[in-house]
Amino acid sequence: MRKTRYAAVAFAAAAALTMSACGGDSGTDAGGEDTGSSDTITIGIKFDQPGVGFMENNEPSGFDVDVAKYVANELGYSEDQIEWKETPSAQRENVLENGEVDMIFASYSITDERKQRVAFAGPYFIAGQDLLVNADNNDINGPEDLNGKVLCSVTGSTSAQKIADTQPDVNLLEQGGYANCVTAMQGGQVDAVTTDDIILAGLASTDANSGKFKVVGNTFTEEQYGVGISQDSDQCEAINTAIRTMVEDGSWEEAIMANTEGADYSYNDELNPPEPAACA
Ligand code: GLU
């Protein structure tokens, strides 16, 4: 974990010079003593996936965020010690490798390819890839109906990769985030959007999108959401223990229900909640 604990002596010296600039910032008590609260943890989430990972008015929300807060708390970090960083699909491995984040909770599927560069704790959720279409579209009921159509997905996602690998006759438009794909569908540039069902359901249920789109409801993959960590992290076991505790004390169920309320979605209860896998 990244620690930004100041040595009390160094801080006291700096504080003496810049007392007025301290402004009661966390990390020290009135005497300049380190209270420990200057330790922070940087967590990567999505900012544009309502109900999953979302940022509005500096306030993060979503199931990923709730699991992240719970796990961070179990690791000894209160909510105000978390620094949230947006981690779009294509950047997740990079920011873990270069140390810009400590953990990622961003609808991040555990895959063997990604394990070449990063490590995973979890899974803490299992979703499935699906399709989002206009509410009045009755022609697209599964991936087999996509040939010759324009499909939008996100660069660096398993969703885009799956289509590229299995449906070469689909015209794939890649965007930086799924919300951009929904905008493209609204503008008539694409026929469907593909990614995990929980993400699509969240996007379809916002006030702005309500009634305009529907999730086809025909999943064709299993996406195990893991907690991305660097390959040299020693936190995998502790994160898995926190996930198990979250399931056992009912907080997991509470979080998934609260974050999918109002969406046309119910999680697959044969697969969820999953048992975290053994750490490598
Ligand atoms: N779970 C998939 C992935 O990790 C799709 C969702 C996303 O792009 O975050 O690629």
Q: Express each pLDDT in 154-191 by its tens digit.
A: 999 999 999 999 999 999 999 999 999 999 999 999 99
Pairwise pLDDT comparison (4 vs 147), residue with the higher score:
147
pLDDT (0 to 100) of residue 94 = 98
pLDDT (0 to 100) of residue 196 = 98
Same domain, yes or no, for 64 and 82? yes
In this prediction, residues 40-49 reach a mean pLDDT of 98
pLDDT (0 to 100) of residue 1 = 55
pLDDT (0 to 100) of residue 26 = 43
Ligand 1 proximity of 260 Cβ (cutoff 6 Å): no
- Do the strands 48-49 and 41-45 form a parallel or antiparallel pair, or are they unpaired? unpaired
Token couple for 38: 């200057």
Contact 75, 235 (CB under 8 A): yes
Residue 35 has pLDDT above 50, yes or no: no
Q: How many domains does the chain have?
A: 2
Which atom of ligand 1 is found nearest the CA of 111? 4
Ligand 1 proximity of 130 Cβ (cutoff 6 Å): no
Same domain, yes or no, for 106 and 39? yes
- Residue minimizing CA distance to atom 8 of ligand 1: 157
pLDDT (0 to 100) of residue 29 = 43
pLDDT in tens, 138-151: 999 999 999 999 99
- Write the CA distances from 23 to 17, 28, 29, 41, 72, integer angstroms: 13, 11, 11, 22, 26
Ligand 1 proximity of 42 Cβ (cutoff 6 Å): no
In this prediction, residues 9-15 reach a mean pLDDT of 42
- Do the strands 119-127 and 103-104 form a parallel or antiparallel pair, or are they unpaired? unpaired
CATH code, domain with 169: 3.40.190.10
Instruction: For residue 277, tell me if it sits in a domain.
Output: no
Contact 47, 55 (CB under 8 A): yes
Ligand 1 proximity of 235 Cβ (cutoff 6 Å): no
Same domain, yes or no, for 11 and 115? yes
pTM: 0.88
Contact 41, 74 (CB under 8 A): no
Contact 15, 31 (CB under 8 A): no
pLDDT in tens, 238-275: 999 999 999 999 999 999 999 999 999 999 999 999 99
Pairwise pLDDT comparison (157 vs 12), residue with the higher score:
157
Q: What are residue 73's phi and psi, to 5 degrees?
A: -60, -45
